[in-house]
Amino acid sequence: MSRTRVCFRCQLCGAESPKWLGRCQECGEWGSVIEEHSPSSNGSGSGRAEAVQAAIPMLEVSSEGEEPMPSGVGELDRVLGGGLVPGSVTLLGGEPGIGKSTLVLQALAGLVAERPGERAMVVTAEESRQQVRARAERLGVLSADLWLLAETSLASIATQIRQVRPAVVAVDSVQTIHDPAFESAPGTVSQVRECTHRLVQLAKQEGVAVILVGHVTKEGSLAGPRTLEHLVDTVLSFEGDRHHALRMLRAVKHRFGPTSELGLFEMTGSGLRDLSDPSALFLADRRQGTSGSAVAAVLEGARPLLVEVQALTGRDRTQMPRRAATGVDPARLAMLLGVLDRRADVSLASVDVYASVAGGVRLAEPGGDLALCLALVSAHRNVSLPPDSVAVGEVGLGGEIRQAAQTPRRLAEAARLGFTEAIVPESTPDVSGIRLRRVTTLTQAIRQVLGP
Ligand code: TYD
Ligand code: MG
């Protein structure tokens, strides 16, 4: 019997307070603190005495961990470093409608297809069985080894996992399941955290790999359970712009490998497809010889990507000029406009400026600065950049061009895609297959590629 006590908890950050507050003192969110019931014992589910383990010399611990099970979905396996590890718990977060249920179904189907005789189970706590079956049919992945449970009660889910003994279970979503023994309402931070904790224990006991689907709000918080991240082994974030087919999968936390890999998918009419050559796709519709267009070689995690950066400038305006950015951080754009003005004598202060990255990609790292600046100047002067050229480099406040991380890898990718010339910082070492134009300042870069 677990006794409970009343507490007040922020549904965004999970901070607890002894009394009700209109605004969370931790994260500053308004109206997010609600009443919950927590177990009176500290640490959830720890009422039972745990088996005592003796300390042993580290050398006596076997170095072999569990072998990951490939899901057959190439880009997912890339991010996971091979596949799902038995007994591990993976949290898959993303905005509603991004494709989490689709990814999970494809992964489970792929896993059983690669492992004859083993089962995978989908626990649907949101959709009906018919809906899930219809999706599986649409994806063409129906299989006798795919099991389905429409259930929201944690106890029933645990019982079914013990009976069906699947190699992998996906719970879609963790926010809609609940433990009736636990008094907080479904979806509250306490309830979701408690359920996750139980599922982590179950995964370890049964050696089953568990995937938890979690909805993330627009602001990027995992609808409360940010606090889940330390309970699970792996946190994956599934991102993308709903108006584009591109989807990106990143590991935010991963106990079994690096978090630097990026998975890229294309959402098609028949599910998610691995995008193994994304740069070629991003550049496919590019029109060479147009002003305001530059190609940046950016790094997404460990993966070099070539993307087209576009800029457009308007006519002189007397009132406040507009600045609009898609896929570019507005603050970064403002900073680069400032550097162009003060250090390179290119003033765009009185004209409208639009900047965009094609294909739904975000320019999230400073290695794309130089390409963006060149696109802006190219648009302003209505002169196009040399064909088949890329730019890599961070632009400093002094107008200097700085080295970006792993420039040679980016240049090798550019060379592979047929680019013949690269505008790079002075210190860049030679890379075979591509001619380098080394520059120290923004002014020099502009003069070299766009003329005086
Ligand atoms: P879904 O996996 O249900 O998203 P989530 O679980 O993250 O809420 O998929 C959402 C969208 O994907 C839906 O609007 C339809 C689209 N979709 C496709 O374009 N092709 C497909 O094959 C499938 C299954 C879905
Ligand atoms: Mg879903």
Q: Residue 83, Cβ neighbours under 10 Å: how many?
A: 22
Radius of gyration of the chain (CA): 26
- pLDDT digit string, tens, across residues 333-360: 999 999 999 999 999 989 999 999 987 7
What confidence score (pLDDT) does residue 300 get? 83
What confidence score (pLDDT) does residue 187 get? 76
Average pLDDT value for residue range 291-320:
89
What confidence score (pLDDT) does residue 29 get? 80
Ligand 1 atom with the smallest distance to the CA of 96 is: 8
What confidence score (pLDDT) does residue 143 get? 93
Average pLDDT value for residue range 66-92:
94
Model confidence band, residue 103 (pLDDT cutoffs 50, 70, 90): very high
Ligand 1 atom with the smallest distance to the CA of 97 is: 8
What confidence score (pLDDT) does residue 448 get? 93
Model confidence band, residue 46 (pLDDT cutoffs 50, 70, 90): very low
pTM of the model: 0.79
CA of 283 to the centre of ligand 2 (A): 31
CA of 366 to the centre of ligand 1 (A): 33
Model confidence band, residue 7 (pLDDT cutoffs 50, 70, 90): confident
Our mutation pick for probing the ligand 1 site, out of 105, 106, 242, 267, counting the most ligand atoms within 8 A of Cβ, is 267
Our mutation pick for probing the ligand 1 site, out of 91, 102, 106, 142, counting the most ligand atoms within 8 A of Cβ, is 102
Q: Is the pLDDT of residue 62 over 50?
A: yes
Using the CB atoms, write b or e for 190-216: b if 16+ within 10 Å: bbbbbbbbbbbebbeebebbbbbbbbb
Nearest CA to ligand 1 atom 18: 269
Gap between the Cα atoms of 228 and 215, Å rounded = 12
Average pLDDT value for residue range 383-392:
94
Ligand 1 atom with the smallest distance to the CA of 102 is: 2
Which residues have CB under 6 Å of ligand 1? 94, 96-102, 135, 138-139, 267, 269-271
Ligand in nearest proximity to the CA of 93: 1
- pLDDT digit string, tens, across residues 178-234: 988 887 777 788 888 889 999 999 999 999 999 999 988 766 555 455 678 889 999
Gap between the Cα atoms of 91 and 79, Å rounded = 13
CA of 97 to the centre of ligand 2 (A): 7
Nearest CA to ligand 1 atom 1: 99
Average pLDDT value for residue range 320-334:
92
Q: Is the pLDDT of residue 161 over 80?
A: yes
What confidence score (pLDDT) does residue 44 get? 44
Gap between the Cα atoms of 75 and 414, Å rounded = 21
What confidence score (pLDDT) does residue 222 get? 54
What confidence score (pLDDT) does residue 442 get? 97
CA of 231 to the centre of ligand 1 (A): 28
CA of 128 to the centre of ligand 2 (A): 11
Name the percent of the chain lying above pLDDT 90.
62
CA of 99 to the centre of ligand 1 (A): 4
CA of 16 to the centre of ligand 2 (A): 29
Nearest CA to ligand 1 atom 16: 99
Residue 356: which of 404, 323, 386 has the closest Cα?
A: 323
